[in-house]
Amino acid sequence: MGRSYIVEEAVEGYLTKQCEQKAGPVTGLLIGQSSTQREFVVTATRTPQREEPLAAGDSPDKQWVTEHARQVSRMLPGGLSVLGVFIVTDIDAKDSLATLRKLVFAVENLISSERLWNPADDDVTDCVALHVNPKTRKTFCRTFDIKDPKSVAKPADWKYQSGVCSSWSTVSCSLSVDMLVPLPDDRTDLEDMDKCLKEGLKVWAHQLESAVCLIDGRKLSEDMELVGGQKRNVRQTYTAQLLITPDERRATDVVQRCGGSVSVRGAIHSRAYLHSNKPKAKLAEKLLKRDAVSTVATRAQMLLEELLTSDGESKGSGRDRPQRELFCLPHRIFCPVKASGPVCVCDYHFSDEGLSVVTDRLKEMLDIDAAEKDLDTRQETPAEVLEGEAAAEPTVETIEALEPKRNRYIGVAMATVVAFLATAASMLYLNDV
């Protein structure tokens, strides 16, 4: 028996709208949550159009579709993920299956390459491929096991339903972060810098994975069901704490030759959504921890991408003249999905940008028509750069980041050092707010 997909009825209207497009094939992503018993599709978003739209009969641009999926994946809080792809075309469904298969595997491979958490044994590995005929409006649904390169298409059940996420539960927490990652001697080697940052984040993610999770102040057994969400249209919100056991190794136990460091400090707002089909404490903990890892990694990567772009313009200057500079990492903003329920997507906002940048990005990436008043900017606020901090430690070039609700900071520091500081200690420390 194939998997069953319970789909928000708003998705049906969205796909119907795509059927009315005059252009060639329309591709897009299906977003929702997987469970061992069934899948929940909350929303769908089409791939942004290129300057030259595809003509009828042309194959979708795989690289364009997968890059869109990568960007969308960064905007999904815990509990939401890209479940698969859809295509709207009058080409026969069976003839489109090979194209859909390529897209499904390419999307999953790119998204999974950015994940820093390890997959669990109970993770669902089936991804959906949906074909919609624009003339007959009929849907053809199949799944592929993306962990099996030789996977063949399996039939799946596709059912529309109203209020799919109306009674989903929300679990959130504020998490403090303090991490120091050494950089290689040659900080002009951008690939090594990126690699070091990812390795440091993996160490932190592994430590977070073993953290104790308290939900509303209690340590629940893994199989205990959360009482919220059992009744239709009844929402439940939980506050969690992640208690991290410090690494047994001290900072002085880890000494290595390096040319600088990246420091990540402060607090983040982490959030996860749970389906209403008898969710358990184990699922809440897993999704919340994964969201914490993903949001920190996304912000660090966004800043690094910007620094790597500007580094080419001032290559080598950092090592000749030690200095300290302050920059802000983006803070997290939430926006509700246009369907009944508590589910939101998110974006990352730099302090020098207007909120219109966020609404424009939500429209481009997720096809959500959001006004600035719809945005939830309360969970995290931009950091304030203090003059005392800017004047301290002149041999360090620092990038400070965001200040969430509890007056904590998260930052990234790129440090240049003089010759007699050729070795440095690396340490990692986290604690719960």
**Model confidence pLDDT, tens digit, residues 250-284:** 444 566 677 677 777 788 999 999 998 888 999 99
Q: So what's the pLDDT on residue 267?
A: 84
Domains located in the chain, CATH noted: 4-161 (3.40.140.10), 169-432 (no CATH)
Q: So what's the pLDDT on residue 235?
A: 67
What are all long-range contacts of 60-68, with beta carbons under 8 Å and residues at least 24 apart?
Answer: 60/25, 60/27, 60/87, 60/99, 60/103, 62/102, 62/103, 62/106, 65/27, 65/103, 65/106, 65/107, 66/103, 66/106, 66/107, 66/110, 67/110, 68/29, 68/365
pTM, full prediction: 0.84
Q: E strands of 126-259, at which residues?
A: 126-132, 139-145, 154-155, 157-161, 169-183, 212-215, 237-243, 255-257
Q: Are 306 and 350 in contact (CB under 8 A)?
A: no
Q: Would you write out the chain's pLDDT as a tens digit for each of its 433 residues?
A: 589 999 999 999 999 999 998 777 899 999 999 988 899 999 999 999 887 666 555 678 899 999 999 999 999 999 999 999 999 999 999 899 999 999 999 999 999 999 998 888 889 999 999 999 999 999 999 999 999 999 999 999 999 999 999 889 999 999 988 888 777 765 555 566 678 888 889 999 999 999 999 999 999 999 998 875 455 555 689 999 999 877 655 444 566 677 677 777 788 999 999 998 888 999 999 999 999 999 999 988 887 777 767 665 555 444 443 444 556 678 899 999 986 678 999 999 988 889 999 999 999 999 999 999 999 999 987 666 555 554 444 333 333 333 333 333 223 333 332 222 122 222 222 223 3
Closest by CA to 122, choosing from 293, 294, 345, 280, is 280
- Neighbouring C-beta atoms of residue 200, cutoff 10 Å: 22
Instruction: Please give the structure tokens belonging to residue 105.
Output: 């595997």
Give bridge partners of residue 270 from the DSSP assignment. 173
> Following CA atoms 20, 28, 14, 231 in sequence, which dihedral angle do they give, to the nearest 10 degrees?
160
Residue 235 sits at the vertex; the CA angle it makes with 294 and 228, to the nearest 5 degrees, is 85
Considering Cα of 368, then 13, then 127, then 229, what sign does the dihedral take?
Answer: positive
The SS3 assignment for 249 reads coil
The SS3 assignment for 69 reads helix
Residue 277 sits at the vertex; the CA angle it makes with 272 and 281, to the nearest 5 degrees, is 50
Q: So what's the pLDDT on residue 303?
A: 78
Q: So what's the pLDDT on residue 323?
A: 42
